[in-house]
Structure 1
């Protein structure tokens, strides 16, 4: 894996190797005089990105981020997040430590962020006065709706829906898979308000030829090239018509924040978060499986059959990820805690894509025995489910608590999962450590 294939932010690039960063960002390697890259293609690239000429370009040192670009890394939009781990600054990608996900409804400040492009101006300004949502393609009638029309012409719905990045757990794969090294915190269960996706499609009239949707957003490509799109994914018509798939305009009772897709986004719960397009501007119905950016090749796909770690997989041997696998998370206690009692209350959440979690078990003796947890029903389909358990340790010492969920189809979390080239769908059991000093 080469550096120019990694998804990295400006600060990470320039901290590691400033001159290499100049080459990656501006397309020309720095010369020995440390100003040589600001000639020809390099100067042109920087000028284009800044949108103006650079009169004193000869004085600008190599390996320094232009201030205008440094301020545009979107870190300011991240300031409202509480305790998240920033994995990348451009685009912003951040996960939530497990112990901060203890709430039944994930606060906006603690909901993970997974972006592919640059947050658009409409979201930065939070002004949707000129925004329209277009629904076209294989429809009987093209629709164009303002935000006010979306809210007034269609019945609102509010649902608690889990949203998980397809790469959640990628950091545990060996050999490593490229991409953001998520551990367990690319998951959230916010309360979303919007209109049913199905209601919009019914209003437009779905032609019999339509088999797939295509989501188009307003986020910009990281290169700054307006002709390029960072991501455009979709779902089968049947998933769009599910009554729990919505076009959301509010998150936890407030307008969608800039980082979460203002003014509207799709929420296709139980499927990879990438199907829940942010900054939505167009829904296109297609008579083929959508082939937009991040829909083809190995993007959000896994091999059709098990492969050995490190195996190269041909594009034709991948299949699109749909329902996410059964999974659980321990949110209380925080890992690596020392407790002064032999009895411990344990709490967490479990979810299962399109399915429902039917049983939750925990172990504190490395899987020799299991204790069934008290599993709560979800408040609505596609919400995660809370579970509670209590364990009594026999002696003082080091213990691990393992969590294992089983869904209504009999699928159970494994101790380890099959490797895949992109590091998707890691639903291995969550484990935390505790030291009992009592």
Structure 2
């Protein structure tokens, strides 16, 4: 077997030339015919690397990194967090391994972290205020006590996902945090409806968009620069599940999740849900704050070739996130005990502003699919639990793939089209399972 230089990782090699990577990693002399390869010495080598035969190898797509080899390693612990993998330390960004997201309600300790700048030095709720101004009849300055006392306090399970979740899988690669699957969570958030607060301020007819401001600071230290200031159309701000939130899972927000108060705009990129919130301005135009312009949190209006340069005017702002699912149990790489051929597979599914209507799984690389049991969400914008019982026909190496279908009939793809910033990757999640004799 040809040995790779240590400094070249498996993902890097496959990103450059997946067919050639098959030849280098698994010893195939010619890589023009993956199916021929998977009937000869290459199949034997791949099976040896995995430690098992591959019963459904004929359905395996060319240039596919086996899920057993594609898993990232190395966990990083942050105060108040458990098992997150750090992607960047300035600003701090960390994701949650899929198998640690099995809870219906994501524990605060396992909720991902996405920062654009440096968090404020103090997140003491005493003296903290949120200003509502711009095109309103009565500008407001509200303390956390004001929010609690003047408006109805509500609590919902709401999914929140980074727009770049899945970026690591794009080829060619896109700049930014190399999220795999773990920049998503479904915590229970307590707060007040943003619509109620805006109603109290009096929305003027000119207002069409919000602008959000937080207490975090720019990495440069320049006080005149903002790390991020995004917004949303007024109709999304008036959605009853869009919140000004001050509790996470029944306790004050974690400092890295926006304490003491943040916006929660579920189903949209997490960047819309401003953390360390200090101000919401109503504007008569689409907000032009930091990271509102192309290509930030925007995708091309039309399909583009990998690596193609796209004019700024040809980007659209990302709004509702696409349908997606995650396998949370078992963990990828699981080996079934001897004499066990049956396994429960489970996970979650979500669909931006929509809901999920069906889930399917496959164990033969997509040749056949079986429907999984799908539970309804406890409230709109919560992710949905799904389960499937799988029986394996014989000993060997298997991959389980999962796909969701949303209420508009849109289905998760095997792979997604490339875009310059690596957003909206909703490709099917897959895990590796080995079955003993």
| TM-score, reference length from structure 1 | 0.81
Map Cα deviations across residues 162-183 of structure 1 (whole Å, 9 max, x no partner): 0000000000000000000000
Distance 1:82 1:263 in 2: 21
Distance 1:172 1:407 in 2: 23
* Residues 1:291 and 2:288 are matched in the alignment: yes
* Residues 1:105 and 2:102 are matched in the alignment: no
Distance 2:213 2:319 in 1: 19
* Residues 1:248 and 2:256 are matched in the alignment: no
Distance 1:90 1:130 in 2: 28
Partner residue in 2 for 1:408: 407
Quote the offset at 1:142 in angstroms.
Answer: 0.3
* Residues 1:379 and 2:352 are matched in the alignment: no
Quote the offset at 1:336 in angstroms.
Answer: 1.0
Map Cα deviations across residues 270-311 of structure 1 (whole Å, 9 max, x no partner): 000000000000000000000000000200000000000000
Partner residue in 1 for 2:336: 339
Q: Give the count of matched residue pairs.
A: 360
Partner residue in 2 for 1:131: 128
Matches within 5 A, 1:29-428: 78-123=78-123, 127-340=124-337, 341-428=340-427
Distance 1:297 1:409 in 2: 28
Distance 2:79 2:436 in 1: 38
Q: What are the ranges of 5 or more consecutive residues in structure 1 without an aligned counterpart?
A: 1-75
Runs of 4+ aligned structure 1 residues displaced above 6 Å come to none
SS in 2 for 1:122: coil
Check conservation: 2:364, 2:399, Cα contact below 8 A.
Answer: yes
Partner residue in 1 for 2:5: none
Quote the offset at 1:413 in angstroms.
Answer: 0.1
Quote the offset at 1:119 in angstroms.
Answer: 0.8
Distance 1:172 1:262 in 2: 31
Quote the offset at 1:392 in angstroms.
Answer: 0.4
SS in 2 for 1:128: coil
Quote the offset at 1:265 in angstroms.
Answer: 0.3
Distance 2:77 2:307 in 1: 37
Check conservation: 2:77, 2:84, Cα contact below 8 A.
Answer: no
SS in 2 for 1:88: strand
User: CA RMSD, aligned part only?
Assistant: 1.0
Quote the offset at 1:77 in angstroms.
Answer: 9.7
Map Cα deviations across residues 203-238 of structure 1 (whole Å, 9 max, x no partner): 001111000000000001111111110000000000
Distance 1:78 1:212 in 2: 35
Distance 2:77 2:235 in 1: 35
Check conservation: 2:77, 2:85, Cα contact below 8 A.
Answer: no
Check conservation: 1:77, 1:259, Cα contact below 8 A.
Answer: no
Check conservation: 2:334, 2:433, Cα contact below 8 A.
Answer: yes
Distance 1:304 1:436 in 2: 45
SS in 1 for 2:195: helix
Distance 2:173 2:118 in 1: 26
Quote the offset at 1:122 in angstroms.
Answer: 2.4
Distance 2:398 2:378 in 1: 33
Distance 1:227 1:337 in 2: 51
Q: What are the ranges of 5 or more consecutive residues in structure 2 without an aligned counterpart?
A: 1-75
Map Cα deviations across residues 345-364 of structure 1 (whole Å, 9 max, x no partner): 00100000000100000000
Map Cα deviations across residues 116-138 of structure 1 (whole Å, 9 max, x no partner): 01110222xxx222211100001
Distance 2:80 2:262 in 1: 20
SS in 1 for 2:122: helix
Check conservation: 2:78, 2:84, Cα contact below 8 A.
Answer: no
Distance 1:229 1:128 in 2: 22
Map Cα deviations across residues 222-279 of structure 1 (whole Å, 9 max, x no partner): 1111111000000000000000000000000001111111111000000000000000
Distance 1:147 1:194 in 2: 10
Distance 2:125 2:110 in 1: 25
